[in-house]
Amino acid sequence: MFNFSRARSQARQNRSLSLGGLDYADPKKKNNYFGKFLLTASLTALCIFMLKQSPTFNTPSVFSIHEPGVTHVLVTGGAGYIGSHAALRLLKDSYRVTIVDNLSRGNLGAVKVLQELFPEPGRLQFIYADLGDAKAVNKIFSENAFDAVMHFAAVAYVGESTQFPLKYYHNITSNTLVVLETMAAHKVKTLIYSSTCATYGEPDTMPITEETPQVPINPYGKAKKMAEDIILDFSKNSNMAVMILRYFNVIGSDPEGRLGEAPRPELGEHGRISGACFDAARGIMPGLQIKGTDYKTSDGTCVRDYIDVTDLVDAHVKALQKAKPRKVGIYNVGTGKGSSVKEFVEACKKATGVEIKIDYLPRRPGDYAEVYSDPSKIRKELNWTAKHTNLKESLATAWRWQKLHRNGYGSTSSSVSVY
């Protein structure tokens, strides 16, 4: 005969008891679970106790404290071309800097360079975030004690803006509103806003002064003007110190070769003419395309005011130093001299030593014939004057960086400190 009693007895020991539709666990298994829970809780309590004994456990970050004699500047878009150069200048001048960037156009490699140059605690931090995320932006302001904001972060290509206008209104206008609202909520008192000469459109007379009517003709310029209007309306009932810098076409790079311009390859068709010249000189592109030769200018090509990035960031620092509560300063940042695209290309050929092939094409949508500044106001009020006004020299400086960084900043994400 088969002995069923032992098997049935063992089975009962390994299953729950069912009484009236309710399951009751085996007491031995319950005790085992309780023991594991007690051990886990004890270890967790021990870890917390040990952490609290650490001298740094309750020590707030220096970035979260307003420190006498130290100005903490939030640089939005600080991983980008202009923003990274501004961060470099601020750090050299002993400012405390927080960079916020979503890296859609910026480069982690630029941040890495800055971290290597200024490794001391409390000098520089990088936060990966999108300014379109209001909750994330509020969290950043809650955890940091900012004294001022330099707002560079923006998509900034005229041609691209005509193809994707909603992207530009969202990225420029909406995101600026988020930054401004958060600054007001956290009582950050100084804003240096990065604007553009594109807000003027195509004026009837040259040079452009700050009083020239703003009639932008492309979504990039329109989005920037809308952002300016929001800032100006807010400032009427605020004690915030505001500086709006409308700058012209930016070229050049750090004279010491530490930073440069490294746009994403897929954006090449929309990018700055200097980048296109360098790509042609390096053989990345078969030649340089000049779009538009029938403008009402001396040689038929567009005329622009080219401002060196070193001069541009100097203007931002001077604006920061001169900003006053309840005051709004609006300034054109340019050289006061216009150069045609053909003149620019000739300067690029001399700077690179390469005979670049030129292709002439129809006009690009959204472009205007002639734009150059009258910088007398910024010279008088901020004591600023462009110093790097030789096209060939500015392009030669940028070219040296390009030759040493054929792949831009390369892949450096694994070695950058992100907070």
What is the set of active-site residues? Answer: 220
Query: Which residues does 48 contact at the CB level (< 8 Å), separation at least 6?
Result: none
Distance CA 305, CA 209 (A): 13
7 CB burial (10 A radius; 0-12, 13-18, 19+): exposed
Q: How far apart are CA 245 and CA 193, in angstroms?
A: 6
d(CA 408, CA 299): 33
- Of 178, 144, 162, residue with least CA distance to 60: 144
Q: Would you call 338 helix, strand, or coil by DSSP?
A: coil
3-state SS, 115-179, equals HHHCCCCCCEEEEECCCCCHHHHHHHHHHCCCCEEEECCCCCCHHHHHHCHHHHHHHHHHHHHHH
Cis before residue 207, ω within 30 degrees of 0? Answer: yes
- Residue 180 near residue 191, CB atoms below 8 Å: yes
How many Cα atoms are found within 13 Å in the side-chain-facing hemisphere of 194? Answer: 28
Residue partners of 21: CB distance under 8 A and separation at least 6:
none
Q: Which amino acid is at 219?
A: P
Backbone angles phi, psi at 390, to 5 degrees: -90, 115
- DSSP class of residue 206 equals S
Q: How far apart are the first and last CA of the chain?
A: 73
Q: How far is residue 193's CA from residue 330's CA, in Å, rounded to a whole number?
A: 10
With 0-12 / 13-18 / 19 or more C-beta atoms within 10 angstroms meaning exposed / middle / buried, residue 404 is: exposed
The secondary structure of residue 201, as a DSSP letter, is B
Coil, strand or helix at 215: strand
